[in-house]
Structure 1
Amino acid sequence: MRRAVTALLLLLCASPALADQSPRLVVLAPHLVEQLYSIGAGGMIVGTVEHADYPLEASAIPRVGNYAGLQLESILALKPDLVLFWQSGSPAAEINQLQRLGIRTEGFEAKTLDDIAADLEQLGRLTGQQARASQQARAVRSRLAALRQQYQQKKTVRVFYELWDEPLSTIGPGAWPSQALRLCGAENIFADATAAYPQVSAEALLQRQPDLIVQPVSTTEPRHLTDYTKRFASLKAVQLQQRAQPNADLLHRATIRTLDGVAELCQLIDQSRQFYATKSGVSPQPLPR
């Protein structure tokens, strides 16, 4: 019995997580990797998934799968103290299997821009980086408050937000970018959609006539964009050249940098708002009810 207890104590003392209080993390979402680096905990990550590419150091972390599937053997071989996952974006079956195997897991699901700050604080508690995390969370909340004060009371701009060209897809009220539109004082013309990321017909888009077409662009995941001049020449926004291309790599990840993307989006929407303010007779018709 005494030998068994001694062996257990030796094992615990040899554990790097207990020796220096730095847990070995496997992180199954790119935005969580980025958040950990922002609070000084990036060096604790021993495994992650594809597309975890920011900051640059994250590209060197071993990969253990992607949103479609995880390599459980690789994860176990890394001997993580904690696996962090994205509740709606990580493969549920594999997460459940890790939990059944006794691996400690923690799920995250940022649903609002304010959740970015809350997630930072939770990551700080899990990694012992509370001071840095609290500082970053305060900065996020302060910047969000400033953006809301600057834009939310301005005249509404009606926006079509293109996510994909074929099939033509946009965002519904439950989609992550929809709250950025609201913060910027914009109205999503498909806010009545029942799906978070609905496909829409050309006829529906032509009927709703947005003031501004937003086409987020990515440098890490390039895609084709709709050629509105050829396909939707009768849209008033096309005729008036009211199109904007914000940075999707900022807007579509729930991290501190998201606020840079939101600020850019708000500026682009405000430019369109000012354009319409200088024109007479070009204001849009009310959204069909």
Structure 2
Amino acid sequence: MFNPRPTLILALSGLLAGAAHAAPTRYPLTVTDDLGRKVTVKAEPMRVISVLPSNTETICALGACSKLIGVDTFSDFPAQVTKLPRVGGLYDPNIEAIIALKPDLVVVSKYGKLAEPLTRAGINVVAVNPESYDDIFTKTLLLGKILNRQTQAQQVITTVKRDVARVEVLTRNVKSKPLTYFEIDPNPYSIGPNSFMGVLLTKAGARNVIPAALGDFPKVDPELIVKSNPALILGVDLRTVQGRPGWKAIQAVKTGRVVEIPMDLNTVLGRPGPRIGQALLGLAKIVHPELFK
């Protein structure tokens, strides 16, 4: 009988060996960022500002936290970044503060329109904006290359994929995968199955009520949720949904399977970065608590 274990070990060993021998980055380095711009990094960046929490976490996971001289308002992990100067949020950045810190690289989102004014000020800017599940890995590689941390990038990816696989082993073959509605905003907004959060929901052993055709983070018609009759509702409390017209008839509401996501888990779930395995584990424990007794 074929035993897959040796093959799995060899494959993992090969991946780790490849990571151990990743070549240093050669500068000047030209990359295409998420705004479609050609950006040339002349030398290894030593004074970096990150204005997106997921990028901040990735930079630190790469062992480059010491390069950070400033972060956005919402970057709060790891704890050491909370001591850094704050340069505002995505839509209310403090451009003067950024310039005053004299960075040699600012890592921005593709939203917020920071790239143009900072570039005019003579500051090198790269837009790195992870949005899909696969982006978690490709953007880790990109930041690793830019920051001369390519070996570390491969190690981060290996660790994340291992953490995800450990959860999937438990959830992949569960007999019942509850039909689930995940609310991320009371307007209401939800998650499509192809968004990074939607992929996590599927990996956690749930079925998403939101059709892919509605997009990754759609505003939804409440009547769609009533008609879909999910067995599990996430991201909102029971009392709130009981007050919505027609929602008392939903299976999840009748059985009390309405779960407000704890704040710490909610934060990690919203960041496509190196803690995504931790986020999946927390989500799987809510969807299938019986697997973790």
Which band: TM-score by shorter chain?
A: 0.7 to 0.9
Deviation readout 1:247-278 (Å, 9 max, x if unpaired)? 2111111122221111121222124899xxxx
Identify the match of residue 253 of structure 2 among 238, 259, 278: 238
Q: Does the 8 A contact of 2:160 with 2:276 survive in 1?
A: no
Alignment match, 1:162: 183
The residue correspondences of 1:42-81 to structure 2 (distance < 5 A) are 42-81=65-104
Corresponding residue number in structure 1 for 2:216: 196
Structure 1 counterpart of 2:131: 111
* Matches of 1:164 and 1:273, distance apart in 2: 28
Change (3 A) 1:97 1:193: same
Q: Quick one: which amino acid aligns to residue 140 of structure 2?
A: L
The one-letter amino acid paired with 1:189 is V
**Matched residue type, 1:163:** I
- The answer as to whether partners of 2:171 and 2:205 remain within 8 angstroms in 1 is yes
SS of residue in 2 equivalent to 1:58: helix
Looking at structure 1, the residues matched to 203 and 222 of structure 2 have their Cα atoms a distance apart, in angstroms, of 27
State the secondary structure of the residue aligned to 2:219: coil
Q: Give 1:151 deviation, angstroms.
A: 2.2
| 1:228 aligned partner | 241
Give the distance between the partners of 1:147 and 1:101, measured in 2 at CA. 46
* Structure 1: tracts of 5 or more residues without a match: 1-16, 217-223, 275-289
User: Of the two, which has the highest radius of gyration?
Assistant: 1
Equivalent position amino acid for 2:125 in 1: T
How much identity, in percent, do the aligned residues show? Answer: 24
Give the number of aligned pairs: 245
Partner in structure 2 of residue 91 of structure 1: 112
- Structure 2 distance, partners of 1:271, 1:100, is 53
Question: Residues of 1 paired with 2:200 and 2:73: CA distance?
Answer: 26
Residue 229 of structure 2 corresponds to residue 209 of structure 1: yes
Residue type at the aligned position of 1:84: V
8 Å contact 1:159–1:188 — kept in the other structure? yes
Per the alignment, residue 6 of structure 2 pairs with none
> Given that residues 215 and 225 in structure 1 are in contact (C-alpha distance below 8 angstroms), is that contact kept between their aligned partners in structure 2?
no
Cross-structure match for 2:281: 263
Measured in 1, the distance between the counterparts of 2:239 and 2:116 equals 39
Contact 1:157 1:273 in 2 (8 A): no
Partners of 2:182 and 2:234 within 8 A in 1: yes
Letter paired with 1:30 = P
Where does residue 272 of structure 2 map in the other structure? 254
* Contact 2:115-2:126 at 8 Å conserved across structures: no
CA positional deviation for 1:22: 5.4
Report the secondary structure of 1:65's partner residue: coil
How many angstroms apart in 2 are the aligned matches of 1:108 and 1:198? 23
Is 2:149 the counterpart of 1:129?
yes
Work out whether residues 242 and 272 of structure 1, in 8 Å CA contact, stay in contact via their aligned partners in 2. no
Note if 1:148 corresponds to 2:168. yes
Per the TM alignment, residue 61 of structure 1 is displaced from its structure 2 partner at its CA by: 1.3
For 1:67 and 1:148, the matched residues in 2 are separated by: 34
- Superposition RMSD in Å: 2.7
Q: Retained in 1: the 8 A contact 2:47–2:67? A: yes
Q: Give me the whole-angstrom Cα distance separating, in 1, the residues matched to 2:162 and 2:258.
A: 30
Sort the Cα spacing of 1:54 and 1:242 in 2 relative to 1 into closer, same or farther, 3 A. same
8 A Cα contact 1:29 1:49, kept in partner: yes
* 1:171 alignment partner in structure 2: 191
CA distance in 1, matches of 2:238, 2:141: 37
Shift of 1:225: 7.8
1:187 to 187, 198, 207: 207
Shift of 1:51: 0.7
Distance in 2 between residues matched to 1:48 and 1:188, nearest whole Å: 34
Q: Is the 8 A contact 2:181 2:234 kept in 1?
A: yes
